[in-house]
Amino acid sequence: MSDFGMNEMQEMQKALQEKYKQKWEPICPATGQNKLLWMVGEVGEVIDIVKKNGAADAVGKEELRKHLVEEMADVLMYYNDVMLCYGITAEELKAAYTEKFEKNMKRW
C-alpha cells in the first residue's frame, strides 16, 4: 500500500471544492474560520463514537471502526480546506511539524 500524502489530499480537496464552488463558500482566508469550526464539529463526532462505544469497540467492531475512520476522513477534509484557505503548503507544514517534533524530542 502506498503512502497517502498531504499533497495528494490537497489535490483531491481542490477538485472537490471546484466541483461544488457554486454551492459551497469559497476557499479564501475569510472563510478559514468557518472551515475550522466545521472541522471541530467533525472532531466532536469522532469523540462521540469513542465516548459512546468505548475505545475497544471503536477499534474492534468492524462497522464502528468504519464509521470512526470515515469521521476521521471528514476531519482531514476540513483540515485540508483550512490549509487551502490560508495558503499553507504541504512543504510549510512539514517544516513546521519537523521543527515542533525536534523541540518536543528535547523537551523532557
Q: What is the pTM of this model?
A: 0.90
Smallest CA-to-CA distance from 77 within 41, 30, 28 is with 41
36 φ, ψ (degrees, to nearest 5) = -60, -40
CA separation for the pair 86, 14 (Å, rounded): 13
Host domain of residue 73 = 25-107
DSSP state of 23: T
Q: What's the CATH code of the domain at 92?
A: 1.10.287
Q: What is the pLDDT of residue 108?
A: 85
Burial profile 14-38: b = 16 or more Cβ within 10 angstroms, e = fewer? eeebeeeeeeeeebeeebbeebbeb
Residue recorded with cell 499553507: 88
N residues, the chain: 108
CB atoms near residue 76 (< 10 Å): 16
Q: What is the pLDDT of residue 27?
A: 95
Please list the rounded mean pLDDT of every run of 10 residues in the chain (108 residues).
87 96 96 97 97 95 97 97 96 96 95
| Number of domains observed in the structure of the chain | 1
Q: What is the pLDDT of residue 2?
A: 80
Q: Is residue 12 part of a domain?
A: no
Q: Is residue 18 part of a domain?
A: no
